[in-house]
Amino acid sequence: MDQLTTLTYDLSDHVATVTLNRPEAMNSFNQAMCEEFAAIWAEVKADDEVHAVVLRAAGERAFCTGVDVKEGIHRESNVFSQTDPGESLSPKLNQVWKPLVVAVHGMAAGGAFYWINEADIVICSDDATFFDPHVSYGMTAALEPIGLARRIPLGETLRIALLGLDERLSPERAMQIGLVSEILPRADLWKRADEIAHLIAAKPPAAIQGTVRAIWESLDSTRTQALRTGLSYTQIGNPIGQAQVERSSVPRRSWTLR
């Protein structure tokens, strides 16, 4: 983690904070970032000290604008050997079941949805804007919208995918369709993401990770299969999670969504 060049990584009180750190390139991802994310997800998955993850971005203009069009990423010459960059970038594709809180500011475009689509909680600042420019550049919009269609209504996904650069979602519209759950002033965004992650991290990790895994895996299953698998996760996880509870230290906290 001390050799990262495109990201920063910090672990404090069971919350890992990952910051996209290429503001000069709108935090677009290049090959180095793909490789560093693969390493980070391996670290997060293996380290039991990590209970939750915050993903945010440096700079003022953008959370992420997708792939770096100047540098590009490595592609195998054999088309049948080529892989989706999401295999490196996305937590769920890396079997990471520790909850991810994503804090979006500025532009979130194209490949930024690799993280937004697989976040457990997405919040944004009042200057955020969401769009997918693929079709405007003659490129099929497929991978990001397929993930997005599992978060928001199909019609909204198609509108984002088909209008390309001609429409950008405001924070208010993103909240209306369920893409984000809170809108905050830019100055409060990181603090709020950290607060949410720490509230989650204070809970028994076995219960949290079992919950994340059961819900996400249900998206790939029929209802009956999902319920049967979910039951097995309660049978496996509940004894562990209940043993992790320190009854006297369970915080009694609540907040109102803004």
- pLDDT at res. 75: 75
Q: Check pLDDT > 90 for residue 142.
A: yes
Residue 55 has pLDDT above 60, yes or no: yes
Q: pLDDT (tens digit, 9 = 90+) per residue, 56-89? A: 999 999 999 999 888 877 777 777 766 777 789 9
pLDDT value, residue 249: 52
Least Cα distance to 89 among 117, 63, 52, 50 occurs for 117
Taking 80 as the threshold, does the pLDDT of residue 257 lie above it? Answer: no
Q: Is 31 strand, coil or helix? A: helix
Instruction: List Cβ neighbours of 160 (8 Å cut-off, separation of 6 or more).
Output: 130, 131, 132, 145, 148, 167, 169
Residue 251 pLDDT greater than 80, yes or no: no
Distance CA 25, CA 27 (A): 5
pTM, two decimal places:
0.91
In whole angstroms, what is the distance from residue 59 CA to residue 22 CA?
A: 8
Q: Is 246 a residue whose pLDDT tops 80?
A: no
| 106-134 as b/e: b if 16+ CB within 10 A | bbbbbbbbbbbbbbbbbbbbebbbbbbbb
Question: What average pLDDT score do residues 238-254 get?
Answer: 70
48 vs 257, which has greater pLDDT? 48
Nearest to 180 by CA among 195, 193, 166: 193
pLDDT digits over 8-48, tens only?
A: 999 999 999 999 999 999 999 999 999 999 999 999 999 99
pLDDT for the residue 72 = 72
Who wins on pLDDT, 118 or 84?
Answer: 118
Q: How far is residue 22's CA from residue 218's CA, in Å, rounded to a whole number?
A: 35
Model confidence at 248, in pLDDT bands (50, 70, 90)? very low
* pLDDT confidence of residue 73: 75
**What pLDDT digit, counting tens, does each position of 184-243 carry?**
999 999 999 999 999 999 999 999 999 999 999 999 999 999 999 999 999 998 999 999
The stretches of the chain forming alpha helices (DSSP H) are: 31-46, 86-89, 113-118, 143-148, 154-163, 171-176, 189-201, 205-218, 223-244
